[in-house]
Homo-oligomer: A and B are copies of this chain.
Amino acid sequence: MAIESSTTIRVRYAETDAMGIVHHSVFPVWMELGRSDLLRMAGQSYGEWEAQGVFIAVAELWVKYRAPAHFDEQVTIRTWVKEAGRRKVVFGYAVTRDEVRLAEGETVHLVMGRDGRNRTLPDAMLALVNKAW
């Protein structure tokens, strides 16, 4: 059974905009927070990946916004792996407040070295990602 992470944060004032709601560019930041939690939960923080020279650069981002979030609300980001390969990993996300779906999203990542060149995911990391698939 695939693991899935759940991250709850409180909306910061700095994240709102003049429309009185959270700016749409903040959702990718929250999704990344979910991604970090999922990897830590699977057994190794993304900081440790980078320390070993493995980077998963964002190659594609998609977000669908369904309802706005506001200052001080508690928002939950659920994160899971949609596709796990040696060269490409796809994460899925759902952002909710209580029972209300605020947004859903997807990010496609390419595995890279510190030099920005493509490389493949070592076995141990692929195994971690597979836990969440």
Contacts and interface: CB of A to CB of B under 8 A. Distances in A.
A23 interface: yes
A1 interface: no
A68 interface: yes
Interface SS of chain A: helix, strand, loop or mixed?
Answer: mixed
Contacts of A68: 57, 116
A72 to B, nearest CB: 4
Contacts of A23: 13-14
Interface stretch (A29-37, A89-97, A121-129): A29-37
Interface of A: 10, 12-14, 16-21, 23-26, 28-29, 32-33, 36, 40, 45-47, 50, 55, 57-65, 68, 70-72, 116
